[in-house]
């Protein structure tokens, strides 16, 4: 098999989506595919690669309906002005869609069927809001038998379809407290704010000029949801969202977000021939299913598979990027693998930076590669839980 490397990675800033007050979202007048179309030419230009050299363009999104429908992945190719000969595909693995695009590109190159692949992700949770609206307007439909037929009762669809309730169930079973979840959330904001102030994220964010509600244009180059002043007292005062007696609040869960991310994958030989210094080598991948009412458990078996495939143990991993869909997901992984928390989400995570579902997996992987270079670490693992009861993981080795 070919060694597959990350040649480059680039993303937009991640805005704070507010479907009920769209004008407050910095990207509210730009579609998700328009955000992605800004990234693709930029990353190709940075690597001095003509688009005709791309063997596949893989686009991930959790909600590939309405304006996020991609015509088989081709509309971003059209919008980005790529060569007509570039094939594309669309992937929906919910919150894992972006990382699934990276994994698919990895497998295409590793097996010799491609030399260069763009793995992308996008999501706009203001313009294509997650929730009942998409069901009410017919954009999405779940088979009603899953809710009503006794033979499907084991799936407990009311819980399965509500990510907050799955997080509450995981917190109960794992014995993780509200205080622990709030402390992790505060840490996320503090670390993200520190990293942003130090300029770390400027190395991966493409500034984008975006029209605002007042008619002005603003250059968006930082993540909108990061709150430097977040503290324990304020977070502890928030009420539970999903259960009156629950632990999950708006403070210890990721915000709705809009954003896009792109990653260029190739072989080590091709990178060297093109004078590209790779960010990292992809060493292993993993994916797994779990009880859908315990969605947040997904990263655990997925990571176990990735570690086994790489011949590694959890203690061999120097740094981790565990998606903060909810604080409890990260805390559960830390317990299950006995991870030093100081090795996890070093520059904050999704609670602060945002979680534009389809883009998150690319961001996790790319940010991890950059942290590994910054800290001179050998191995890193990025992992995420996935709505519907799945997990997805990737292990990188620093070049």
Are 254 and 354 contacting, i.e. CB atoms less than 8 angstroms apart?
yes
Question: Which of 217, 228, 226, 187 has its CA nearest to residue 346?
Answer: 187
pLDDT of residue 399: 83
Active site residue ranges: 95, 355, 385
pLDDT band at 132 (very low <50, low <70, confident <90, very high): confident
Q: Treating both helix axes as pointing N-terminal to C-terminal, what angle do 327-337 and 163-174 enclose, rounded to 10 degrees?
A: 40
Reported as type and span, the H/E element at residue 226 is none
pLDDT of residue 136: 85
Long-range contacts of 153-156 (CB under 8 A, 24+ apart): 155/292, 155/293, 156/292, 156/293
Compute the average pLDDT of residues 190-215. 97
Are 284 and 395 contacting, i.e. CB atoms less than 8 angstroms apart?
yes
pLDDT in tens, 239-294: 999 999 999 999 999 999 999 999 999 999 999 999 999 999 999 999 999 999 99
pLDDT in tens, 313-372: 999 999 999 999 999 999 999 999 999 999 999 999 999 999 999 999 999 999 999 999
Q: Which residue has the tokens 């203001």?
A: 126
């Amino acid at each position: 098999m070919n060694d597959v490397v990350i040649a480059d990675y680039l993303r937009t800033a991640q805005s704070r989506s507010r479907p009920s007050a769209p004008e407050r979202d910095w990207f509210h007048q730009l579609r998700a595919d328009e955000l992605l179309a800004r990234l693709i030419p930029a990353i190709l230009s940075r690597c001095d690669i003509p688009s005709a050299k791309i063997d596949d363009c893989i686009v991930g999104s959790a909600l590939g309906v309405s304006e996020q429908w991609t015509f088989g992945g081709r509309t971003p190719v059209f919008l980005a002005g790529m060569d007509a000969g570039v094939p594309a595909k669309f992937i929906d693995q919910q919150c894992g869609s972006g990382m699934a695009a990276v994994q698919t590109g990895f497998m295409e190159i590793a097996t010799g069927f491609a030399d260069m692949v763009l793995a992308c992700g996008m999501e706009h949770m203001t313009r294509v809001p997650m929730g009942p609206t998409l069901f009410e307007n017919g954009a999405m439909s779940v088979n009603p038998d899953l809710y009503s037929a006794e033979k499907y009762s084991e799936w407990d669809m009311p819980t399965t379809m509500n990510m907050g309730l799955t997080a509450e169930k995981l917190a109960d079973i794992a014995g993780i407290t509200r205080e622990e979840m709030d402390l992790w959330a505060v840490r996320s904001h503090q670390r993200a704010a520190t990293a942003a102030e130090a300029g770390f994220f400027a190395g991966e964010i493409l500034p984008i000029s975006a029209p605002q509600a007042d008619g002005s244009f603003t250059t968006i180059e930082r993540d909108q949801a990061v709150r430097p002043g977040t503290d324990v007292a304020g977070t502890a005062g928030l009420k539970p969202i999903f259960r009156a007696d629950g632990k999950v609040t708006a403070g210890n869960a990721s915000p709705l977000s809009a954003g896009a991310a792109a990653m260029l994958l190739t072989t080590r030989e091709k990178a060297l021939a093109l004078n590209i210094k790779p960010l990292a080598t992809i060493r292993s991948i993993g994916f797994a299913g779990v009880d859908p009412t315990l969605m947040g458990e997904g990263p655990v078996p997925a990571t176990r598979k990735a570690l086994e495939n790489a011949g590694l143990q959890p203690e061999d991993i120097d740094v981790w990027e565990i998606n903060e869909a909810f604080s409890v997901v990260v805390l559960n992984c830390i317990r299950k693998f006995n991870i030093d928390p100081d090795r996890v989400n070093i520059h904050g995570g999704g609670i602060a930076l945002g979680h534009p579902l389809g883009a998150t997996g690319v961001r996790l992987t790319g940010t991890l590669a950059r942290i590994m270079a910054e800290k001179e670490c050998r191995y890193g693992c990025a992992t995420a839980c996935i709505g519907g009861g799945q997990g997805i993981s990737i292990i990188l080795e620093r070049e």
